[in-house]
Structure 1
Amino acid sequence: MNILDTVHAVAHEYPGGCESLAPRLGMSAQVLRNKVNPNTDTHHVTLMNVVDMTVKTDDDRVLEAWARERGYALIKLPTPENCADGEVIELMAKTWETNGEIGKEVNRTFEDGRVERHEVIRIRDCAWTHIKVLLGLVGRIEGMAEGK
């Protein structure tokens, strides 16, 4: 999904839609609908609108879409709070699970001897998920370190 379509989705999928989000952004619902409509030439969403929308919706999809369009992976840095042995074990199990998902997608891709674009996207999505889980695991272990 491109960045403009993502901005549109974030605004419209917010609980209560544009009617609920617009007042929090200091504009009317109609103005917000016009700004986030990728087919409207008369109103434009600004960078500050998008930043404000991202913060107030707590929705990082626009950041993720922009990173992907630019060839980057957006990874939220883990925080070390609530570090416990049980959470580390849970995260280890999650890393095994996400690693297995990558393997499943690669196998599915090569079953017919062809590699299609949508299959590459599925593999990439599984890989990014795995990377995020691995970084979460490292963050939790870092949080448990003595003498931080």
Structure 2
Amino acid sequence: MNVADAAHACVHAYPGGAESLAPRLGMRAAVLNSKVNPKTTTHHLSLAEASRIMGLSGDLRILHALAAEHGQVVVSPAGAEDACDMAVLEAISALWSRNGDLGTAVHTSLADGALTQSELAQIRTAAYAVQQRMASLLERLQAMAEPEGSVDA
């Protein structure tokens, strides 16, 4: 998903949509709708506004779209509650699931002998999900790691 589509989706997924979110941002709903409409060229969402939207909504798809557009991955840091065997097992099973999604996307896209731009976009989305899950697994393992020499021998 590109950044403009992510902003549009984020605003419209907010409970009550732009009509509820706009007043919290200090603007009219019509202005917010224009700013997040990918086809509008006269109004633009500022970085500060995008940040406030994410903060108010808890929806980080704009951040994820920005990161993916620049070949980066956004991962929430693991907390102490995530540092246990079950959390690691959950992270591994989620990673395997996403690997399957990536494999399916690649296989389906190449099945007809041609790769379109939209198929490549689907593969990129699946690959981003794998990268997120891998980074999450590493964060959980890092939270569990003990300093060298601290384990009783």
Cα distance, 1:85 vs. partner?
A: 0.6
Are 1:116 and 2:116 an aligned pair?
yes
Are 1:63 and 2:63 an aligned pair?
yes
Q: State how 1:1-148 maps to structure 2 within 5 Å.
A: 1-38=1-38, 39=40, 41=42, 43-69=43-69, 71-82=70-81, 83-147=83-147
Distance in 2 of aligned mates of 1:107 and 1:31: 43
**TM-score using structure 1 length:** 0.82
Distance in 2 of aligned mates of 1:68 and 1:135: 14
Distance in 1 of aligned mates of 2:144 and 2:124: 31
Distance in 2 of aligned mates of 1:107 and 1:8: 30
Is this contact kept in 1: 2:67–2:74, CA < 8 A? Answer: no
Counterpart secondary structure, 1:63 = helix
Structure 2's unaligned 5+ residue stretches are 149-153
Judged with a 3 Å threshold, the aligned counterparts in structure 2 of structure 1 residues 9 and 106 are, in CA distance, closer, same or farther, namely: closer
Deviations 1:120-139 (A, max 9, x none): 11221111111111111111
Instruction: Number of aligned residue pairs: give it.
Output: 146
Deviations 1:80-119 (A, max 9, x none): 3211111111211222222222222222222211112222
Counterpart secondary structure, 1:78 = coil
State the percentage of identical aligned residues. Answer: 38
Structure 1's unaligned 5+ residue stretches are none
Distance in 2 of aligned mates of 1:116 and 1:34: 31
Cα distance, 1:142 vs. partner?
A: 1.0
- Could you say what the CA RMSD is over the residues aligned between the two structures, in angstroms? 2.3
Judged with a 3 Å threshold, the aligned counterparts in structure 2 of structure 1 residues 96 and 3 are, in CA distance, closer, same or farther, namely: closer
Is this contact kept in 2: 1:78–1:135, CA < 8 A? Answer: no
Is this contact kept in 1: 2:88–2:141, CA < 8 A? Answer: yes
Structure 2 letter corresponding to 1:32: L
**TM-score using structure 2 length:** 0.80
